[in-house]
Amino acid sequence: MIEPLPLDHGHLQKLVTADLVRPDHLLGAHPVTENGVEGVRFGVWAPNAHHVSVVGDFNGYNGFDNPMQRLDFGFWGVFVPSARHGQRYKFRVTAADGRSEDKMDPYGTFFEVRPATASIVWNQPFQWTDDAWLQARTPGLDRPVSIYEVHLPSWARRDDGWFLNYRDLAHRLGEYLQYMGYTHVELMGVMEHPFDGSWGYQVTGYYAPTSRMGSPEDFKYLVNHLHALGIGVILDWVPGHFPTDSAGLAHFDGTPLFEYADPRRGFHQDWNTYIFDYGRNEVVMFLIGSALKWLQDYHVDGLRVDAVASMLYLDFSRTEWVPNIHGGRENLEAIAFLKRLNEVVHHMAPGCMIIAEESTSFAGVTTPSPFGLGFDYKWAMGWMNDTLRYFEEDPLWRKYHHHALTFFNAYRTSENYILAISHDEVVHLKKSMVMKMPGDWYAQRAGYRAFLALMWTTPGKKLLFMGQEFAQPTEWDHDAGLPWHLADHPDHRGVMNLLRRLNGLYRTRPDWHVADTKDEGLQWLSADDVDNSVYAFLRRDPQGGAWSVVVANLTPVYRDLYPVGVPQGGAYRVLLCTDDGEYGGFGTQQPDLNARDEGWHGQTHHLRLNLAPNSVLVLTPAE
């Protein structure tokens, strides 16, 4: 446990000048001993408040017992000798107009279970055992990164319908991640939030894991256990907006403080939330301190920054907006914040990855700052939209959209991409992944298996939302656990078996992951067979020399002895066929896997392959 910084002029000045990247060491609730007396020191930022006091279990929520002293630069502080670990508290903030409101601690590390909103004094030790993991972790640009996106409250629940504890989840989830072969898990909704239906994207506790599933130590146990199993942990993090709940950050001192004052900049009409004021150093440090809290104190391996596009553009989803000082639409303050965030994180938490969910063509998202924003990865939203649109087409018309699947290759090396099929694609009447596919139930599963195989063999790291690994037929329901009973049915178990195989190949074959960001990582063999809707390409490891051939037949038509060029002669073996019976297919056989000397597709040799309907076939030279 770290000794808190003194609430003196020098440290407060560091915060207001953006030189204190861990403001939670200064503000919030800290059990301390002053002049031999044990108690809790409280600190808060409320520059426009007329009066602030701390109320809680220690004073019967009496606002007169523990008034806070106004300090320099708009901060307030007080030492309460009667306060102890585990007690609830709030800040009673009286605005200039005389109105008082009880507020959650912006730097609180533990909170009551919703709908209650009190902060809890908390500062417990935890025995970490993951030093070796922390020393070895890396953003992994040349390594396999296969991410399982999980909403913990609905991944699984207790028999009585309540949430599982983080410690129970550590073992259940960890065992499952190992079984499926994922390298990372991305957790939604971990930071404290008042409304279950926000999925955790409207945060009130930026420094606290939600108490729905246990204590901060319980969450640390989850991270520590997953590290012991060799699994990295990524959290969704939301620095773009926060809820309007009166107990939270909204109008914290009676005035717009954490948010922009002008609603044309400070209010999201789509989400009914407030937008952080990135022009205030205290707000910028609050957010950067939150990021470092999770990466340093909770040993989290990465953050997926939500809704970056909404931060970058002043006209995002609005008709009335205020231009920047140059008359443009870019939020220059938010851009400066994101650059500073990534610089600080990469310096203070080396080896961690910061991922942008950025849905526009903003240049340089993964270019190091100061020339770019400095993220490690960006979600490939263009790839996702194009690929889903193609697979949702009736196969009869796919030939008119053939290049939707090849267009990603035109720009895939412009950023470091993660191919993400997230929760957003399986809610709000968009259907689950398998139900997006056209045709009957067999054709839907065949199409979905082909989709997964193409996703795993396309350059870019991978992310798949929970339930889609066993072809969940219904949309995600955040109020219920996943329909795990389906995983025992052969139709669904087959898709799960395929994903296990894909993860296994992806992790062990360097040609599938080491050159994701390099042109040499993929070479098209046939990108123009529009009439047959067949695609063929090579995945390559330009350093080690390993390579494999990927052939996709994306219509429900069997293609006999289809010629595919290969760069060398000799025998080949099948690494994967999505039509195998193990995965729920017919089990199409290949009568001859010896390359013929005749050239094809610009290669020196070719194979004659039997391509099953709606299938992907992957081959490699025999040893």
- Residues with catalytic roles: 306, 357
User: How far apart, in whole angstroms, are the C-alpha atoms of residue 517 and residue 459?
Assistant: 7
| Spatial contact of 204 and 249, defined as CB atoms under 8 Å apart | yes
Host H or E run for residue 355: strand 353-356
For residue 203, give the nearest of 188, 193, 190, 216 by alpha carbon: 193
Contacts 24+ apart (CB under 8 A), 166-169: 166/209, 166/213, 166/214, 166/218, 166/219, 166/221, 166/222, 167/214, 167/218, 167/221, 167/222, 169/213, 169/222
Residue 238 near residue 203, CB atoms below 8 Å:
yes
| DSSP annotation string for 488-529 | GSHHHHHHHHHHHHHHHHHHH-GGGTTTTTSGGGEEEEEEEE
Looking up tokens 């446990």 gives 1
Q: How far apart are CA 440 and CA 436, in angstroms?
A: 11
State phi, psi for 95 to the nearest 5 degrees: -75, 175
Give the C-alpha separation, 618 to 540, whole Å: 13
Beta pairing partners, 233: 185
Q: Characterise 581 by phi-psi region: left (phi > 0), alpha (psi -120 to 50), beta (else).
A: alpha
- Tokens describing residue 561: 């002895």
H or E segment and range at residue 385: helix 381-392
Tokens of 73: 């630069």
For residues 397 and 388, the answer to whether their CB atoms sit within 8 Å is: no
With left for phi above 0 and alpha for psi between -120 and 50, is residue 87 left, alpha or beta? beta
- Name which of 17, 18, 66 is nearest 43 in CA terms: 66
Helices marked H in 124-165 — which ranges? 131-136, 152-155
